[in-house]
Structure 1
Amino acid sequence: MVLFAVVTIPADVRHALSSHQPLNWAVSVVVYAVLVACRRFPIAIVAVAVIGSVVLMADGMAYPLTLPAVFYALYSIALGSGQVRTLAVGVAVKVVLVTASLITHPGITGFVVLLWAALAVTTGFAARSHHAYVAEADERARRAEQAREDEAKRRVAEERLRIARELHDAVGHHVALINVQAGALACLLDDEDRSQARESVAHIQRASEEALEDLRLTVGLLREPGLEPTEPVPGLDQLEELLCSFAGAGLQVTREVTGQARPLPEAVELTAYRVIQESLTNIRKHADCDTAVVRLGYAPGALRLTVEDEGKAVTQGGRRMPEGHGIVGMRERVAAVGGRLSAGPRPEGGYRVFAELPLRAAGIEGS
C-alpha cells in the first residue's frame, strides 16, 4: 500500500501540475495559505482543507494537492487536543474523504486516503505521548532534585541541632560547675579560708580543662567530617565519674538501680547520660538544694530514668519559667531514640525529670 501511494500519488500530482487548471491552483493556494493559522484555529483549518480536497476530487484529481494539508492539520489536532476531540474530528474527516473518493474515483483510492489520514492521527498521538513522557520525566527529575536538596537541608538542620545539644550538654555542664566553684571561691576568699579556696581553684581548673577538651574534640570533628572521635562516647559506665564531679561542686547525688543492669545500645547510653547530666546541672544551678536522686530502671523493653530533687522550682511572677535549651535538647534527644520525656515540679515539692528509652528498636530484650 505504501509503495502504491509512493508511485501513484506523485504521478497524479504531476499530472495535475502539468494540466495548469486554474481551479487546482486557486484551491491549493487558499488551503496552504490558511494553514499558517492551524495552531490557533485547528478545526476551521481542517474544514477548509477537507472542503478544498473534496472540490479537487470532484474536479477530477484522485489525490488532490491539498491532501498533505489535511494530514498536517489532523496531525496538529492529535498533537494538541484531547483524545476524544481528536477521534471525533479524525472520524469525520475520514468519512468525508472516503465518501468523496468512492464517489469520484471508485476503487482503492479511498482506502489509500483513509490509510494516510489514520497515519497522520496516529503520528500526532505518538508525538503527543512522547512530549508528555519527556515532560513527565523532566518533572520527575526536578522533583527528585528538589527532594535531594530538601533532604540535604534537613540533614544539615539535624546536624546543627545535634552539635548544639552536644555543646550545651558537654561544655555547658563544665561551665556551670566552673561558675558554682567561682562563686564559692569568692565567698571563701572573703572568709580567708585558704585551704578550701585552693580546693575550689583545683575544681575550677579541672572543670575548665575538661570543657576545653570537649570543645576541642567537637571542633575537631566539625573541621574533619570523616574523623572518628578519639574518645569513647559517654555512657552509663561513666555515670560514677559524673556524679563525683557534682559532689565536688557541692551536690550529693544518690543513685538507685532496679532491674538487671545490662549493656545498652550506644544511642540509648549517650541519651541517658546526657539527660542525667543536664538534669543535675539544672539542679545545681537553679534548685537551691544540695541533694538529688538518680533512679535507673532496667525493664524488659526499656530503660527508665528519673532525676529528682527537693529544691524550689524556678518561677517568675508566680509562674514557672519557660523551658530552656537544656530541657528542649533533652526532649529532642529522647525523641530521636523513640522515647518520651516529662519534666516538671513534683506535687510534694522539688522537680522531677523522667525519661523512658525503648530498647526493642535496637533488638535488645531483657528478662
Structure 2
Amino acid sequence: MTTLHKIAVLPGDGIGPEVVREAMKVLELLKELDSSLHIDFETFDWNSDYYLENGRIMPKDGLEILKQYDAILFGAIGDARVPDEVTIWQLIMPIRKQLQQYINFRPVKLLKGVPSPLANEKDIDFVIIRENAEGEYSNSGGRLYTGLDQEIAVQNTIITRAGTKKVAEFAYEYAKKHGKQSVTSATKSNAILHSMVLWDEVVKEVSKDYPSIHTDHYFIDALVAYFVSRPQDFDVVVASNLFGDILSDLGSAVVGGLGLSPSANLNPERDFPSMFEPVHGSAPDIAGQGIANPIAQIWSSALMLEHLGRADLADVIVESIEQVLLDNQVRTPDLGGTSTTSDMGTAICESIKKVIHERQVNHS
C-alpha cells in the first residue's frame, strides 16, 4: 500500500520564501523522477505580514491544523516590524513545544567542494543532538520594578530528569544505529550546580546501557574551543537547549557557514509532525535580492525525506549538492560566487537527474 505524506509548508519571512521555493523545486522534481514518492504540499502564509494584518502570527487553531500533517517544511521567521518575542514565542516555540519536537537534530558535515575556514581542515562529520523543549529556553521567570533602578529579571532554566533522559537516549541510540564511537555531553556543572549536575547524572545513567560507546563530558567553554581545534574528533554531541544552539552555529561556521546547515525538530514517537528548517535566520539584509544560499533549506528537505522513510532520496539530494559544489560553476555570494538562489536550486536539480540516472544504470 502506497503512503501519501502530507507536508505543511511555512515559508516565513525574509529569505525564507526564496529558499523554500528552491527546496520545493527539488521535491517536485523527485516526485517526477520517482513514481513511488507520494507527497502533497499545502502552504501557509503564517509570517510577520500575517501578524500585522491579523494581530497574531498564526490562527488560533494553527497547531491543530498542523497536527493533520506528516511533516512541516519551514523557512525562516523574523522581521524588523515585529518584535522577536512575537515571531519566536507565537510561532516557533509553540510548534516545537506543543508538537513535542523535543529533539533538535543538526548535522555538522564538511561537504565536498567546500573549504573550511579552519587551517587544520580534516574530515568533519558529526551531529549535534540538542534538547529542544525545555532547558534555558523555558518561558519561566519574570521582571519586577520595570524601569526602576532596582529592576530585577529572573529567567529560570528548567532541566527535568525525563526530558534529559529522552534526549540522551536518542543520542546514544543514534550513535549505536549509525556506528558512531562516542557521545560527547556538553555541560557546565562546575558552576551551574543544580540543573547541569542533574543533566550530568542522567547522561551518565543512560550511558551505562551503551558500554560499547565512549562517553565524554566537556564543560561548554572548553568544548567550543575543541570544536575549532579538533572538530574531526566528534561523533555525536548532546547538549541542552542553549548550549546546543550555540554549538550548532559554531559547527556551521567551521564547515562553511549557516547557508549550508540544515536542521530537524523531531518528535521521535511520531505522535505529531516533525519540522525541518535551515539553521540560518530570515536574513533581512539580503531578502528580496535573490542571492541567498538555498542549500541549507534543500538539505533540510532531505532530512524530511529521511524521516518519512526515504533515506535513499535524501542521499541523492546530499550527493547532488556535493557534486554541484565540486563542479564549482554555481556558487552563491556566501560561497564566493555570483550565482543566484534560483541558479543554485536549478543546478542541484540538474545534478539530481544525473545522480538518479547513474544509479539506475548501475542497478541495471
Common fold, TM-score beyond 0.5?
Answer: no
Higher RCO structure, 1 or 2 (CA under 8 Å, sep 6+): 2
Larger Rg: 1
Normalised by the shorter chain, which TM-score bucket?
under 0.3
| TM-score in terms of structure 1 length | 0.22
| TM-score in terms of structure 2 length | 0.22
Counting helix residues as a fraction of each chain, which structure ranks higher? 1
